[in-house]
Amino acid sequence: MSQPLHDNICESQLFERLYKKHAKNLHNFLYYKFGEHLNPQDKVQEAFIKLWQNCSKVAPSKAKSFLFTTANNLMLNAVAHQKVILRYNEKPQKRTTNETPLFVLEEKEYHVKLQKAISNLTEAQRVAFLMNRVEGKRFKEIAELLDISVKGVEKRIYGALKRLREEIEEL
């Protein structure tokens, strides 16, 4: 009885010969069994990567079996994942809201009014107001950035709020 020359496939030349010998057949096997849409070439590559990662554990005589089993399992996992995706897509997605069309229309109109009113503020009021309300900066931070006193910031923001209320109520 002859002893095998290699007890594992971690030698790069042996691994390369295995790749050249089995890669095309493995691809064809996966392609015929599962089709092209699950990308059999990628699964072939993944199977060889797994073989390389486990090269010390796999005997050369078992390499072909390991490759085909691993690649088949990878494809079965991909099929199962596709089924999950299909089931999720089949579930009706909630696309309703509790808002009436009238509310949505009024909200859009209010937004337009607000944008117009903000554009009518003085530059000093607009800058201080937007820094506070949009960026969330505190009065002290705004004062430091604009190089003015905190009272100055308060006056600009309160003036902006007063003017916004007046203009929006007019419209």
Distance spanning both ends of the chain, measured CA to CA: 100
CATH numbers and ranges of domains, the chain:
12-90 (no CATH), 101-170 (1.10.10.10)
How does pLDDT run across 60-82, given as a tens digit for each residue?
889 999 999 999 999 999 999 98
Position 1 pLDDT exceeds 70: no
How does pLDDT run across 90-115, given as a tens digit for each residue?
877 777 677 888 888 888 988 888 88
Position 6 pLDDT exceeds 70: no
Q: Taking the mean position of all CA atoms in its chain, how far away is CA 167?
A: 42
When pLDDT is cut at 50, 70 and 90, the band that residue 139 belongs to is: very high
When pLDDT is cut at 50, 70 and 90, the band that residue 10 belongs to is: confident
Query: What pLDDT does residue 3 have?
Result: 42
98 backbone dihedrals φ, ψ, rounded to 5°: -90, 5
